Structure 1
Amino acid sequence: MIPPVPSRHRNAVATRQAILASARRHFARENYENVGLREIAGDAGVDPALVSRYFGSKEALFRETLRDDDKDIMDGATRDNLAAHFAQLFLDKGDVPQDERDIHIERILTLLHSIGSPKAGQIIRETIDADILGPVAREIGGADADMRAAMAFAVLMGMGIMHNTLAVDPSTCSDAESARFEKRLTRIFAAALDPHEDG
Structure 2
Amino acid sequence: MARTGRRPGRQDTREAILAAARTAFAEKGFDGASIRHIAGAAGVDPALVHHYFGTKDQLFVAAMDFPIDPAKLLPQVAAGGIDGLGERLVRMFLTVWDGPLNSVGVALVRSATRSDLAARLLREFLTTQVIRRVLDNVTVDPAEVPTRGSLVASQMIGLAMMRYVIKLEPLASADPDVVVAAVAPTIQRYLEQPLKTF
Equivalent in the alignment of 2:183: 185
Corresponding residue to 1:88 among 88, 91, 97: 91
The TM-score with structure 1 as length reference comes to 0.53
- For residues 3-152 of structure 1, what are the structure 2 equivalents within 5 Å? 52-56=12-16, 57-58=18-19, 60=21, 63=60, 64-66=62-64, 68=66, 71-72=69-70, 74-78=74-78, 79-89=82-92, 91=94, 96=95, 101-103=99-101, 106-107=104-105, 109-114=107-112, 117-143=115-141, 144-152=144-152
> Aligned-pair distance for 1:153?
0.7
Aligned CA distance change for structure 1 residues 124 and 183 (closer, same or farther; 3 Å): closer
Aligned-partner SS, 1:80: coil
Distance 1:172 1:120 in 2: 27
Distance 1:188 1:122 in 2: 25
Q: Deviations over 1:80-105 (max 9, x none)?
A: 332112221354xxxx5x58853277
Distance 1:181 1:121 in 2: 26
Q: Deviations over 1:136-175 (max 9, x none)?
A: 22222313122112101110100111122125476844xx
Q: Is 2:156 the counterpart of 1:166?
A: no
* Off by >4 Å, runs of 4+ in structure 1: 67-70, 98-101, 167-173
Equivalent in the alignment of 2:30: none
Pick which of 121-130 and 74-83 moved more: 121-130
The code of the aligned residue for 2:85 comes to L
Aligned CA distance change for structure 1 residues 191 and 112 (closer, same or farther; 3 Å): farther
* Contact 1:67-1:131 at 8 Å conserved across structures: no
The code of the aligned residue for 2:121 comes to I
Aligned CA distance change for structure 1 residues 194 and 105 (closer, same or farther; 3 Å): farther
> Aligned-pair distance for 1:189?
1.3
Equivalent in the alignment of 1:28: none
* Contact 1:87-1:185 at 8 Å conserved across structures: yes
Among all aligned residue pairs of Structure 1 and Structure 2, give the percentage whose two residues are the same amino acid. 10
The TM-score with structure 2 as length reference comes to 0.53
Query: 1 or 2, which has the higher helix percentage?
Result: 2
Q: Give the gaps of 5 or more residues in structure 2.
A: 1-8, 24-59
